[in-house]
């Protein structure tokens, strides 16, 4: 089993029972948002976490070592070139000494749980892809959410996925899906998807209590947080851009992990760049809510 290097700030916070929020690093790297928006996203998310009274902990592999929490030097590296790293890639990243392995949801959850962090903030999770009955394309994010004892805070799942089947998968996996002050499962850039969430919650304290009373020691919880209303994209315009992007994917034979960056790039173009500020806003909002939950869990325990 690999070791995790926890930064001094994060280690001190955990030892003192204070709130910590883990974050993935893909969104902040060149694989996520374009520069300088990725740097802005990192700064905004970190400030949002600290403003609530929690400590941010970016997860990554640097020079073949797993890290939770970053130094100033590492923080600069987070916004640079990287290799995308899911949970399955962590052993390879360590063995091959990757310069920077940027964590996806599944990898970040693995490192967060190993460090003892109970709350993780991201933009949107992966899920069941459209046409999965033929391709079998289901994100490893879902399995990680189901079996890592961490509350995952996200703006639902990425809009180009099969959201109904994603919710069905989570139900089968025994994941409590909570809607943050909403009755509908959010669809990343928009606040609603037409799909109900199993449980609506109004406060971080209720999320903390639900996590505390989970039925398995390894059971995760998904908290779905709608994008702020002022930052939500127009649904019709987004649907048109999404449909066009998915048609291009099919025509070009794009499959697997390549779908996400391709579709997001096409959505950005199809919305005249409006998806970028929306992405920044939802990531920051998720970080803020995650910090509230982390504080509530720290107080609960």
pLDDT in tens, 21-70: 999 999 999 998 889 999 999 999 999 999 999 999 999 999 999 999 99
- Which range (21-35, 48-62, 104-118, 233-247) has the least confidence? 233-247
Predicted confidence (pLDDT) per residue in 288-297, tens digit: 999 999 999 9
Peptide bond into 33 cis (omega under 30): no
Query: Which pLDDT does position 5 carry in this prediction?
Result: 97
- What was the pLDDT predicted at 79? 95
Pairwise CA distance, residues 268 & 43, whole Å: 22
Residue 218 pLDDT > 70, yes or no? yes
Q: What whole-number distance in Å separates Cα of residue 282 and Cα of residue 300?
A: 27
Structure tokens at 107: 């990898």
* Phi, psi (rounded to 5 degrees) for 207: -60, -45
Given 158, 184, 284, 288, the catalytic residue: 158
Residue 148 vs residues 67, 80, 111, 164, 195: alpha-carbon distances, Å: 18, 28, 10, 22, 25
- DSSP for residue 96: T
- Say what the pLDDT of residue 134 is: 66
CA distance 227 to 156: 9
Domain of 246, in residue numbers: 4-300
Res 215: pLDDT: 95
Region 232-240: mean pLDDT is: 85
**Of 17, 46, 20, which Cα lies nearest the Cα of 283?**
46
151 DSSP β-pair partners? 119, 221
pLDDT score, position 301: 64
Residue 173 scores a pLDDT above 80 = yes
* Percent of the chain whose pLDDT exceeds 70: 99
- Residue 257: its pLDDT value, please? 66
Arithmetic mean of pLDDT, 107-136: 92
Q: What is the mean pLDDT of residues 239-263?
A: 77
Residues facing 223 on adjacent strands: 153, 178
Number of CB atoms found within 10 A of residue 102's CB? 29
Q: What is the pLDDT of residue 107?
A: 98
- Greater confidence, 111 or 268? 111
pLDDT value for 127: 95
Is position 158 annotated as part of the catalytic site?
yes
Distance CA 174, CA 220 (A): 9
Q: What does residue 24 show for φ and ψ, rounded to 5 degrees?
A: -75, 165
- Phi first, then psi, for residue 166 (nearest 5°) are -65, -45
> How many CB atoms lie under 10 A from the CB of residue 76?
11
Q: Give how many domains the chain has, as a whole number.
A: 1
Structure confidence at residue 256 (pLDDT): 67
Asked whether the predicted pLDDT for residue 240 surpasses 70, the reply is yes
pLDDT digits (tens, 9 = 90+) for 123-150: 999 999 887 776 778 999 999 999 999 9
We report the CATH number of the domain holding residue 142 as 3.40.1790.10
pLDDT category of residue 153 using cuts at 50, 70 and 90 = very high
Given this model, what pLDDT does residue 168 score? 97
User: Considering only CA atoms, which of 188, 200, 172 is closest in space to residue 264?
Assistant: 188
């Amino acid at each position: 089993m690999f070791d995790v290097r926890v930064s001094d700030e994060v280690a001190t916070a955990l030892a003192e029972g204070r709130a910590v929020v883990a974050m993935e690093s893909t969104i902040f790297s060149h694989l996520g948002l374009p520069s300088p928006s990725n740097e802005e996203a990192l700064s905004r998310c970190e400030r949002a976490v600290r403003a609530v009274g929690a400590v941010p902990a970016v997860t990554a592999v640097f020079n073949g070592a797993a890290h939770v929490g970053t130094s100033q030097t590492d923080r600069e590296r987070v916004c640079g070139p990287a290799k995308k790293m899911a949970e399955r890639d962590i052993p390879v990243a360590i063995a091959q000494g990757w310069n920077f392995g940027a964590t996806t949801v599944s990898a970040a959850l693995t490192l967060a749980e190993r460090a003892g962090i109970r709350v993780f903030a991201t933009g949107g999770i992966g899920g069941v892809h459209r046409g999965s009955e033929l391709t079998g394309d289901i994100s490893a994010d879902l399995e990680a959410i189901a079996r890592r004892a961490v509350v995952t805070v996200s703006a639902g799942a990425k809009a180009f996925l099969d959201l109904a089947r994603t919710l069905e998968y989570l139900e089968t996996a025994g994941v409590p899906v909570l809607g943050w002050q909403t009755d509908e499962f959010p669809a990343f850039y928009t606040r609603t998807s037409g799909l109900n969430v199993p449980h609506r919650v109004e406060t971080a304290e209720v999320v903390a209590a639900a996590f505390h009373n989970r039925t398995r020691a390894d059971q995760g919880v998904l908290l779905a947080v709608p994008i702020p209303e002022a930052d939500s994209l127009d649904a019709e315009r987004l649907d048109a851009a999404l449909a066009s992007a998915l048609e291009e994917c099919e025509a070009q034979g794009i499959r697997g992990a390549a779908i996400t960056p391709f579709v997001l790039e096409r959505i950005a173009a199809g919305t005249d760049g409006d998806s970028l500020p929306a992405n920044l806003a939802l990531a920051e909002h998720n970080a803020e809510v995650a910090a509230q939950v982390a504080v509530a869990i720290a107080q609960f325990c």
